[in-house]
Structure 1
């Protein structure tokens, strides 16, 4: 099969594909056999009807049309694979020669994904600054404060309610005069500031004393689901008692209670080590983003609008699915964020453009560096997927093959290896800690 490629527009190519007479003949025969198995002609066994009879009964033009419909997609896929093209739309097919005994010739005009070409020097020595991983004393103090809150005790206080207190209440929520069981509780320990049934109750509770009866009107938070989330309700509360957190002192006794260590210094050292590990992982991830963004900033590529729109629509569909899984519609979720659909589309479009450019950059690097994916690497990724979904690797591999997603998986692996290479060749400078003292001027 011979293919010539002509660029007709910035993102559109015309492939002229010539299928040799021998290959064309075999595929045309296959079409005849398929039709012979589908029709019944008196005097002939099923599947044994001669071509001439089929032509007479069905019509030769109909036979050739069936051949084009069944065989052209295969020829087209083979041609774009041989030419290393990535179509982003369905092709416009034009049959130029379709005569038995001659080569089959047709053209396919299609919009294709852009390609970037690089030399090794283009992605070597990218200058970036890796975030600092040094842990400050304040960060350790913040974690110790969280530990203190976790090991705090509640004790009664003889004062009005303050923000951050815990109050025992009888809580009754009604909607249209009917009690909302999901939000109503007796002898309920309520954290002031949680906004559990709306923010207005927290405001009214501050300053209240035991025995106080409070009534407020509010809307239930979205966590109550699609039916009740955002619903107007009446809230009645009887305050029974007030408790405050009693935080433990940060000393060796606290270290023994809150950890496996005997001294507070040992606990601080352990926190520093753990926080450093976390910041190292975060810094590594940030470094990869920085290197990729720096590479994206170096290239100037015109993207097909259809490609941008497809990726944008995909992201909006994902947002809609995510909102539905949370029990709220997309419109409601956007309202809670102070967004509208126009802003969502603009934001999705911006991220779509960056994602497409990222893929194009990494694919270009992979081509120049001749990066490949091995069967072992694909197998390893399939094993990870299988473990995540608690399935057998063979079953996952079969599904990926059936749906064609194994190609997507291979592409992900290639792009990851290309980004690894970018980071490996980058000129990386480590940032100074924010609290590091500046050097004195000479």
Structure 2
């Protein structure tokens, strides 16, 4: 099947494919069979209508069209493979010649991965924040642990700062109760300020069973930002009785004998969590640095399609949550200082992220192709298990979803890109904000650093176990062969 490629631009080609009509016979036969099974013509059994009768009844053109629709995807994919192209989008296909019984020609214009050079991995550098664990962070973690072993005790006195309350809130406007702004039996810790403004001041001094009305601005729901009169009723006043941070508590809450050992362990866990966050930041920073060094642009059409898809997804999610983008940004701005502050900057940020993600994918795919990186069955299995855990489903359900929605190529692509990024990380130079070089080679998923000798020993043991398993299977096969041979002689 001859095909030619015309380079329309650095990232777009036109493929012309000529197909001898005889090569379409399987597709023509299928088109006739499918049509014959769907129609009922007097004098013929269903599915047994001869092709000439179908041509007379429905026209030869309809059969040709169906056959071409069936054949072109495979013919296009073969031409892509033969010409070693890397499409980035769906092609625009046009049948340019149709000589019944002789020849078919079609063209396919498609955006492809342009040619570009990738810098040596050891030239890539990036900087991330240093891990800094304050004494306050350690004490907060220890306080949280004490809270898990603490208990609540009712107190018969007016509310004080730090008390734990059970309260009802009723909001009114112009004397009318606002039905969507009332809650009952909610827990609240005085002094946290995590609800409406003025609540802390209103409850101080109240006793269980007493109420007070104050004016504030609603902070959530459909009436967000509305000013209302809010009546708070204190139903229960409690204090949290925490165990003392001493050696006895350390022995109760952990395997350690002293509170200092427990405190050191809490700090160690914070460090390990920090390492995981730092490693994730390092991967992002290294990939961003690599993108900046590669002189290549993703085709505009591919970028625009991705941007539109992201915008549609975001708008659908906002609609389902009953939010406008403006309100979402207001709420996000409270929690994230780096979040876009207005609609225009939000969409600009979305567009940049889409373009960067596509460029990163394009670069990683090229490296994977150049190095002929494949995917082992065990790697795919581990990937599926991780996705299943993240989605809260079983691995079998994830496999079924993958097969039903034809996600195999997508999953394989993600695995290959992750392997490429691991290669880049192994050679790139990453330093923290203190100028210290960060070693990520032996970082484990929990944030601990494995001993290289232990890793080598473990790998050797696994290899030996696999080798013994293979040898056992071979010996078993030889034994069975021998027994069969003796039986044959007998």
Q: TM-score range by the shorter chain?
A: 0.7 to 0.9
Q: What residue is the counterpart of 1:281 in the other structure?
A: 276
Report which stretch shifted further, 211-220 or 405-414: 211-220
Give the 3 Å change call, closer, same or farther, for CA 272–86 of structure 1 in structure 2: same
Give me the whole-angstrom Cα distance separating, in 2, the residues matched to 1:357 and 1:101.
Answer: 45
Q: What residue is the counterpart of 1:336 in the other structure?
A: 331
Instruction: Check conservation: 1:155, 1:245, Cα contact below 8 A.
Output: no
Q: What residue is the counterpart of 1:191 in the other structure?
A: 189
Give the 3 Å change call, closer, same or farther, for CA 213–103 of structure 1 in structure 2: same
Q: What residue is the counterpart of 1:201 in the other structure?
A: 199
Instruction: Check conservation: 1:366, 1:414, Cα contact below 8 A.
Output: yes
User: Aligned match of 2:292 in 292, 297, 305?
Assistant: 297
Q: What residue is the counterpart of 1:423 in the other structure?
A: 425
User: Aligned match of 1:218 in 212, 216, 219?
Assistant: 216
Instruction: Check conservation: 1:157, 1:244, Cα contact below 8 A.
Output: no
Name the SS of the counterpart of 1:56 in structure 2: helix
Q: State the 1:385 CA deviation.
A: 3.4
Instruction: Check conservation: 1:216, 1:236, Cα contact below 8 A.
Output: yes
Q: State the 1:260 CA deviation.
A: 4.4
Give the 3 Å change call, closer, same or farther, for CA 432–197 of structure 1 in structure 2: closer
Q: State the 1:204 CA deviation.
A: 4.8
Stretches of structure 1 that go unaligned for 5 or more consecutive residues are: 435-442
Instruction: Check conservation: 1:92, 1:109, Cα contact below 8 A.
Output: yes
Give the 3 Å change call, closer, same or farther, for CA 395–179 of structure 1 in structure 2: closer
Give the 3 Å change call, closer, same or farther, for CA 367–322 of structure 1 in structure 2: same
Q: What residue is the counterpart of 1:438 in the other structure?
A: none
Instruction: Check conservation: 1:173, 1:184, Cα contact below 8 A.
Output: no
Instruction: Check conservation: 2:138, 2:267, Cα contact below 8 A.
Output: yes
Give the 3 Å change call, closer, same or farther, for CA 366–148 of structure 1 in structure 2: same
Q: What residue is the counterpart of 1:313 in the other structure?
A: 308
Q: State the 1:388 CA deviation.
A: 4.8
Instruction: Check conservation: 2:214, 2:231, Cα contact below 8 A.
Output: yes
Give me the whole-angstrom Cα distance separating, in 2, the residues matched to 1:402 and 1:367.
Answer: 27
CA displacement, residues 60-90 of structure 1 (integer Å, 9 cap, x when unaligned): 3333333333332342244334445454554
Q: State the 1:265 CA deviation.
A: 1.5
Alignment of 1:374-393 (within 5 A): 374-389=376-391, 391=393, 393=395
CA displacement, residues 324-355 of structure 1 (integer Å, 9 cap, x when unaligned): 56564555423434655433322211211221
**Residue 16 (1) aligns with residue 11 (2):** no
Instruction: Check conservation: 1:124, 1:425, Cα contact below 8 A.
Output: yes
Instruction: Check conservation: 1:210, 1:239, Cα contact below 8 A.
Output: yes
The structure with higher relative contact order (CA 8 Å, sep 6+) is: 1
**Residue 63 (1) aligns with residue 63 (2):** yes
Give the 3 Å change call, closer, same or farther, for CA 372–88 of structure 1 in structure 2: closer
Give the 3 Å change call, closer, same or farther, for CA 382–256 of structure 1 in structure 2: closer
Alignment of 1:115-130 (within 5 A): 115=114, 117-118=116-117, 122-129=120-127
Name the SS of the counterpart of 2:200 in structure 1: helix
Aligned residues: 426
Report which stretch shifted further, 65-74 or 14-23: 65-74
Give me the whole-angstrom Cα distance separating, in 1, the residues matched to 2:252 and 2:389.
Answer: 36
Give me the whole-angstrom Cα distance separating, in 2, the residues matched to 1:274 and 1:240.
Answer: 39
Give the 3 Å change call, closer, same or farther, for CA 247–35 of structure 1 in structure 2: closer
Give me the whole-angstrom Cα distance separating, in 2, the residues matched to 1:167 and 1:395.
Answer: 44
CA RMSD of aligned residues (A): 3.9
Instruction: Check conservation: 1:117, 1:368, Cα contact below 8 A.
Output: no
Give me the whole-angstrom Cα distance separating, in 2, the residues matched to 1:61 and 1:109.
Answer: 24
Superposed structure 1 runs of 4+ greater than 6 Å apart: 152-160, 239-249
Q: What residue is the counterpart of 2:141 in the other structure?
A: 143
Q: State the 1:157 CA deviation.
A: 11
Q: State the 1:15 CA deviation.
A: 0.6
Give me the whole-angstrom Cα distance separating, in 1, the residues matched to 2:398 and 2:145.
Answer: 42
Stretches of structure 2 that go unaligned for 5 or more consecutive residues are: 334-340, 437-490
Report which stretch shifted further, 247-256 or 282-291: 247-256
Instruction: Check conservation: 1:116, 1:360, Cα contact below 8 A.
Output: no
Alignment of 1:147-162 (within 5 A): 147=145, 151=150, 162=161
Give me the whole-angstrom Cα distance separating, in 1, the residues matched to 2:60 and 2:179.
Answer: 72
Give me the whole-angstrom Cα distance separating, in 2, the residues matched to 1:362 and 1:61.
Answer: 45
Q: State the 1:235 CA deviation.
A: 0.9
TM norm structure 1: 0.79
CA displacement, residues 289-329 of structure 1 (integer Å, 9 cap, x when unaligned): 22212211101222223322322233334434544565645
Q: State the 1:23 CA deviation.
A: 1.1
Give me the whole-angstrom Cα distance separating, in 1, the residues matched to 2:45 and 2:156.
Answer: 97
User: Aligned match of 2:415 in 413, 416, 441?
Assistant: 413
Report which stretch shifted further, 325-334 or 300-309: 325-334
Name the SS of the counterpart of 1:108 in structure 2: strand
Q: What residue is the counterpart of 1:437 in the other structure?
A: none
Give me the whole-angstrom Cα distance separating, in 2, the residues matched to 1:13 and 1:344.
Answer: 34
